[in-house]
Amino acid sequence: MTVYTPEEIEYLDRQALEALQLLRLKRVITQALATPFYKERLGGVGIKHPEDLKSLDDLKKIPFTTKDDLRDTYPYGLLAVDKKEVVRMHASSGTTGKPTVIYYGRDDLDRWTGLTYRSLKACGCDSEDVFQNMMTYGLFTGGLGLHYGAEELGMFVIPSSGGNTRRQFMLMKDFETTVVHATPSYMLHLYSQMENMGIELSDLKLEKALIGAEPHSEDLRRKIETLFGIDAYNSYGLSEMNGPSVAFECVEKSGMHLWEDAYCIEILDRDSMEPLEDGEIGELVLTNLIRHASPILRYRTKDLTRIIPGSCACGRTSRRIDRITGRTDDMLIINGVNVFPSQIEEVVMKVPEAGNNYRIVVRKKGTLDVLIVELEIGPEILSDDTRDLYALKGRLVDALKASISIKPVVELHEPGQLPVQEGKAIRVVDERGNLY
């Protein structure tokens, strides 16, 4: 078995890359077979042993894994190692309040760090850089995800986490931050607050922003670059596939290299789920080849993208995906946080005072997203004390915040005030415009 250096892996020719993928896939299948869930799924298509997989093409036999599968097996159904081997978990939000949880063993974390290290290097970061990581540290993978790769690269890491714009500016100024990691919407928010907070561009030493966790257009990237006079690089990831550094732009800014030694890519027709040609837009389906504690095979990301045909001028051989152009489900991404409308409905419908109609509106306020939940209430409560209305609003805000991790604005309406559709109700109004 050939052992490659981390640098060699980035430049393997297709044949060597695929041989490595197959080897790693078999290892991951061994892990998957240790879980009752995959044992049954794989057994159903005749895979009872890793050697039953003869080629990468056999991957296509394996049924897809969905977010619902992860939720249904919560908390430990997809754990493939002894619990004592787990050193960390992360989680992403879900429709029913139950998160989807991912576990990492020591080696899994090291392999992930290898990817984040590589991604930071690909977009030109090095040990001279001061890296301020403005993604939230916690169950969300955005914060801790890039942290260890940045340390490995020798960057000066400021784990400032999300929010607290005034403090972010103070740190940026005092420690001469050269690279930030944030959502694109937070970058715009930072810019909008500069004048207000007495910060001038010349106070900052910023050179790069790594932007991800939410969809954004090429125009928005350019805008961030022009406003700050920096380079912005797109970063794609999802907790089911570890988190950030599934795909990352290199200095060429011509699409994101999806690290194929660590993930098998499929782009499938969103209706027939048949494979598409390079260049055609479809659903991205990913298989993690490097995580042994939580193996996930053929995960339906619901993200729409395409493989960019041809090779990259940087010479790295992992194929590139284009920026995400949308999703096949109704998941909203609000300031980087995933929210399903059904989570909101569940909370709203539990309130006894709720009337018959509600609507979810997402709009931009300044540069950030605001979530507004409009709810009709029953006639009884309207005639009551206004203090009751305030209390109801407060209860709803708290319950929604607990469920979706975002503080919404709640607006209460008299019966019949919200628009009614003749056909299917339009519950979600996304006024943020064409993000893609």
Question: Which residues contact residue 284 at a Cβ distance below 8 angstroms, ignoring those fewer than 6 apart?
Answer: 265, 266, 267, 301, 303, 304, 305, 321
Q: What is the dihedral of CA 116, 222, 251, 154, to 10 degrees?
A: -40
Q: What are phi and psi of 105, to 5 degrees?
A: -85, 175
Cα separation, 215 vs 322, in Å, equals: 11
The binder of ligand ADP chosen from 69, 108, 129, 214 (CB under 6 A): 214
Give yes or no for residue 213 binding ligand ADP (CB under 6 A): yes
Cα separation, 236 vs 233, in Å, equals: 10
Give yes or no for residue 235 binding ligand ADP (CB under 6 A): yes
Give yes or no for residue 94 binding ligand ADP (CB under 6 A): no
Give yes or no for residue 250 binding ligand ADP (CB under 6 A): no
The distance of closest approach from Cβ of residue 10 to Zn ion in the complex, given in angstroms and rounded to an integer, is: 9
With CB under 6 A as the rule, give the number of residues binding ligand ADP: 23
Give yes or no for residue 243 binding ligand ADP (CB under 6 A): yes
Cα separation, 99 vs 97, in Å, equals: 6
Give yes or no for residue 70 binding ligand ADP (CB under 6 A): no
Cα separation, 285 vs 273, in Å, equals: 10
Residue 48's Cβ-count burial label (10 Å; 0-12, 13-18, 19+) is: exposed
The distance of closest approach from Cβ of residue 132 to ligand ADP in the complex, given in angstroms and rounded to an integer, is: 18
Region near ligand ADP per CB under 6 A, out of 147-155, 221-229, 230-238, 414-422: 230-238
Give yes or no for residue 142 binding ligand ADP (CB under 6 A): yes
Cα separation, 310 vs 257, in Å, equals: 12
The distance of closest approach from Cβ of residue 124 to Zn ion in the complex, given in angstroms and rounded to an integer, is: 11
Sites of contact with Zn ion (CB under 5 A):
250, 252, 312, 314, 316
243 makes contact, choosing from Zn ion, ligand ADP, none, with CB < 5 to 8 Å by partner type, with ligand ADP
Cα separation, 145 vs 92, in Å, equals: 13
The binder of ligand ADP chosen from 69, 225, 303, 374 (CB under 6 A): 303
The distance of closest approach from Cβ of residue 238 to ligand ADP in the complex, given in angstroms and rounded to an integer, is: 4
Angle (CA) 38 101 89, round 5°: 115
Region near ligand ADP per CB under 6 A, out of 38-46, 136-144, 222-230, 349-357: 136-144
Number of H helices, E strands in the chain: 12, 21
The distance of closest approach from Cβ of residue 31 to ligand ADP in the complex, given in angstroms and rounded to an integer, is: 21
369 token code pair: 């997203």
Region near ligand ADP per CB under 6 A, out of 32-40, 169-177, 188-196, 210-218: 210-218
Whichever of 141 and 168 has its CB closer to ligand ADP, that residue is 141
303 token code pair: 């993200």
Give yes or no for residue 239 binding ligand ADP (CB under 6 A): yes
Cα separation, 251 vs 242, in Å, equals: 23
- E strands of 253-306, at which residues? 256-258, 263-268, 282-288, 299-305
**Cα torsion angle, 83, 85, 87, 93, sign:** negative
314 makes contact, choosing from ligand ADP, Zn ion, none, with CB < 5 to 8 Å by partner type, with Zn ion
252 makes contact, choosing from ligand ADP, Zn ion, none, with CB < 5 to 8 Å by partner type, with Zn ion
Give yes or no for residue 133 binding ligand ADP (CB under 6 A): no
The distance of closest approach from Cβ of residue 189 to ligand ADP in the complex, given in angstroms and rounded to an integer, is: 17
Rg (CA), the chain: 23
Binding residues for ligand ADP (CB under 6 A) = 92, 140-142, 212-215, 234-239, 243-244, 301, 303, 324, 327, 333, 336, 338
